[in-house]
Chain A
């Protein structure tokens, strides 16, 4: 492999003022968390009617609201239909590489793991995209581990350029970059940036991100701001629920971040993901959500932030995914492979995580239609 020089960039340890990241840092999470604990019937009633902002969202996360899950689900369903109609947008993750120099306790790609590593060539990426396009996908999310030399700026730009003629909607979920790199990606044809903060709790963040550039919490938190500044039209954020010892605190921060992004970057469409860590070999979530709590969170988010998209991955099991369609999910992946090179043919590379819903994209589309929902494959093309 040819060595590529890695340009060092300024990565401050604090968030810049005037950003959504700064708004998140300034949010009184402890106050909101207390509100989520003590909310009673009156607060829940008011929050169920919507428009209560973060305070309303906190009330909807409360144990009192948990007792009224069916009401909450009805409100979430009605809100979703009013705002999005019976539609679900479908996309596929395309894993470019599982090379990674960061050590993160929860991730299969973590640098220390002895796994089969692979990075697709640009031609292989194009073949994967062609296979996905053949399945009907018109929105592809490019995913990679953190390796600035192997998964470099130039490589990412080349991948986007190769896909742009075939795939009308391209997003990236890769290591965080500076604005200049995001501008290059936008110019190449990428219009969506997904960055999960993983956990908004700085202490937990430091514990689970043991080594590597990903340790810089603030630089990551402000990445969606940099992407938006560079012209990304769609921003995706998320937290790995269960990583922090109190999932409600992370959920409150996630909602605060989504709200701040929609205010600061009002031209952008914001989508949140709610990936749930499940107990697995070698990793035990600090605070695993039950299905009931997961449904409460998803519905609360929908009612409190009616315009924000909610993304559901194939981590969740088929029966649950099918039920969640009616509750507020607006974007789903389908038929996913989380190892590089899994679509065009079998790949022996290690997947990032095990998927629970292995149904094909056609099957998922069929499930959506049977539920009275329109599977949307394409809703964007750059002119």
Chain B
């Protein structure tokens, strides 16, 4: 395949702009088939789910190559816990790419902006490639970028909510200002949501619940892949925006004639 529009994160090229979360799938086999069907090259797995002693571990669903394992710190309630989880992942020989999640609130699993930034600073200094899940706050995203994060991953809406891009206005500012790839994470409940995120100029989307809990996760993974490609192509082609209403008042250039 000729890659005319690769996504580059921390120097590594990705052919797919769909990142996949691995929770909530009915089985490892379905997960493996979905990974193949959607063409993703980055999947995120919670370190707490990994059990090297198990006969069938979630890591067994990952293909041997072509897909980067992005360990996440899901479950961490503060910066200290997240940093410890990341170091455990490193000690276990997992890739040093970390999806940083700090979610002290167990109901909505909203990321803690203060501790996310603190943990990012520590992990970047520690040599990790850090992809932080964060609130859709443009200033926080600039601070995370300055801290050395490889991407920012603002939420579209609450994780697992399938509500789509309720933070769209803020995402637009984040995308406009960012110097690192913006990955819209959380809340994407339908392929149309993913397409919209890509049309807005997001570099990629991360989807989990909408695929893992679909009646047919494999088919849904494929549908998301199509939507991400369509949205990206539309963004690159230059979307026509809705017409503004022109309301000519008194001429402003009469002085020139």
Binding site for B on A (CB under 8 A): 42, 45-46, 48-49, 51, 55, 69-71, 73-77, 262-264, 266, 291-292, 295, 319-320, 323, 326-327
Q: Quick one: closest A residue to B244, CB to CB? A: A49
- Please classify the interface of chain B as helix (H, G, I), strand (E, B), loop, or mixed, using the class held by over half of its residues: loop
Q: Which of B142, B243, B252 has most A Cβ within 10 Å?
A: B252
A328 to B142 Cα, complex, angstroms: 28
Chain B residues lying within 8 Å of A48, measured Cβ to Cβ, are 244
- Beyond known contacts A45-B243, A70-B253: 19 more, CB 8 A cutoff: A46-B241, A48-B244, A49-B241, A49-B242, A49-B243, A49-B244, A69-B256, A70-B252, A71-B248, A74-B247, A75-B244, A76-B252, A77-B252, A262-B177, A264-B179, A295-B253, A320-B255, A326-B252, A327-B252
Q: Quick one: closest B residue to A78, CB to CB? A: B247
Does B169 lie at the interface of the complex (its beta carbon under 8 Å from any beta carbon of A)?
no
Chain A residues lying within 8 Å of B251, measured Cβ to Cβ, are 70
A158 to B252 Cα, complex, angstroms: 45
Chain A residues lying within 8 Å of B242, measured Cβ to Cβ, are 49
Are the CB atoms of B256 and A292 closer together than 8 Å? yes
Does B4 lie at the interface of the complex (its beta carbon under 8 Å from any beta carbon of A)?
no
Q: Quick one: closest B residue to A42, CB to CB? A: B240
Does B55 lie at the interface of the complex (its beta carbon under 8 Å from any beta carbon of A)?
no
Chain A residues lying within 8 Å of B246, measured Cβ to Cβ, are 71, 74
Are the CB atoms of B179 and A69 closer together than 8 Å? no
Chain A residues lying within 8 Å of B253, measured Cβ to Cβ, are 69-70, 73, 295
A319 to B254 Cα, complex, angstroms: 12
Those of B201-249 within 8 Å (CB) of chain A: 238, 240-244, 246-249
Q: Which of B238, B240, B241, B251 has most A Cβ within 10 Å?
A: B241
Chain B residues lying within 8 Å of A74, measured Cβ to Cβ, are 246-249, 252
Chain B residues lying within 8 Å of A70, measured Cβ to Cβ, are 248, 251-253
Question: Closest CB of chain B to A133's CB: distance in Å?
Answer: 34
Chain B residues lying within 8 Å of A49, measured Cβ to Cβ, are 241-244
Q: With A46-B240, A74-B246 known to touch, is A295 a contact of B256 (CB < 8 Å)? A: yes
A73 to B238 Cα, complex, angstroms: 24
Q: Quick one: closest A residue to B139, CB to CB? A: A266
Interface residue from B177, B241, B243, B252 paired with A51 (Cβ < 8 Å): B241
Q: Count contacts on B: residues with CB < 8 A to the other chain.
A: 19
A75 to B246 Cα, complex, angstroms: 8
A121 to B244 Cα, complex, angstroms: 55
Chain A residues lying within 8 Å of B238, measured Cβ to Cβ, are 46, 55
Q: Quick one: closest A residue to B172, CB to CB? A: A51
6 residue pairs of the A-B complex, CB under 8 angstroms, read: A70-B248, A73-B253, A263-B177, A263-B179, A266-B142, A266-B177
Binding site for A on B (CB under 8 A): 142, 177-179, 238, 240-244, 246-249, 251-253, 255-256
Chain B residues lying within 8 Å of A71, measured Cβ to Cβ, are 246, 248
Question: Closest CB of chain B to A305's CB: distance in Å?
Answer: 11
Q: With A49-B243, A74-B246, A264-B179 known to touch, is A319 a contact of B255 (CB < 8 Å)? A: yes
Question: Closest CB of chain A to B71's CB: distance in Å?
Answer: 28
A76 to B178 Cα, complex, angstroms: 26
Question: Closest CB of chain B to A193's CB: distance in Å?
Answer: 20
Chain A residues lying within 8 Å of B255, measured Cβ to Cβ, are 319-320, 323
Question: Closest CB of chain B to A231's CB: distance in Å?
Answer: 15
A295 to B256 Cα, complex, angstroms: 9
A32 to B247 Cα, complex, angstroms: 30
Chain B residues lying within 8 Å of A69, measured Cβ to Cβ, are 253, 256
Q: Quick one: closest B residue to A294, CB to CB? A: B256
Chain A residues lying within 8 Å of B247, measured Cβ to Cβ, are 74
A264 to B177 Cα, complex, angstroms: 8
Chain A residues lying within 8 Å of B240, measured Cβ to Cβ, are 42, 46
Question: Closest CB of chain A to B176's CB: distance in Å?
Answer: 8
A55 to B247 Cα, complex, angstroms: 25
Q: Which of B238, B253, B255 has most A Cβ within 10 Å?
A: B253
Q: Which of B240, B243, B251, B256 has most A Cβ within 10 Å?
A: B256
A191 to B148 Cα, complex, angstroms: 27
Q: Quick one: closest B residue to A70, CB to CB? A: B253
A225 to B157 Cα, complex, angstroms: 36
A23 to B251 Cα, complex, angstroms: 38
Question: Closest CB of chain A to B9's CB: distance in Å?
Answer: 17
Chain B residues lying within 8 Å of A75, measured Cβ to Cβ, are 244
A71 to B244 Cα, complex, angstroms: 12
Question: Closest CB of chain B to A276's CB: distance in Å?
Answer: 15
Are the CB atoms of B252 and A73 closer together than 8 Å? yes
A264 to B179 Cα, complex, angstroms: 8
A213 to B33 Cα, complex, angstroms: 64
Interface residue from B177, B241, B256 paired with A291 (Cβ < 8 Å): B256
A295 to B251 Cα, complex, angstroms: 13
A46 to B242 Cα, complex, angstroms: 9
Chain A residues lying within 8 Å of B241, measured Cβ to Cβ, are 46, 49, 51
A329 to B179 Cα, complex, angstroms: 29
Q: Quick one: closest A residue to B142, CB to CB? A: A266
* Nearest 7 interchain pairs by C-beta: A73-B252, A323-B255, A49-B244, A73-B253, A70-B253, A49-B241, A69-B253
Q: Quick one: closest B residue to A23, CB to CB? A: B179
Q: Quick one: closest A residue to B141, CB to CB? A: A266
Chain A residues lying within 8 Å of B142, measured Cβ to Cβ, are 266
Q: Quick one: closest A residue to B240, CB to CB? A: A46
Chain B residues lying within 8 Å of A326, measured Cβ to Cβ, are 252
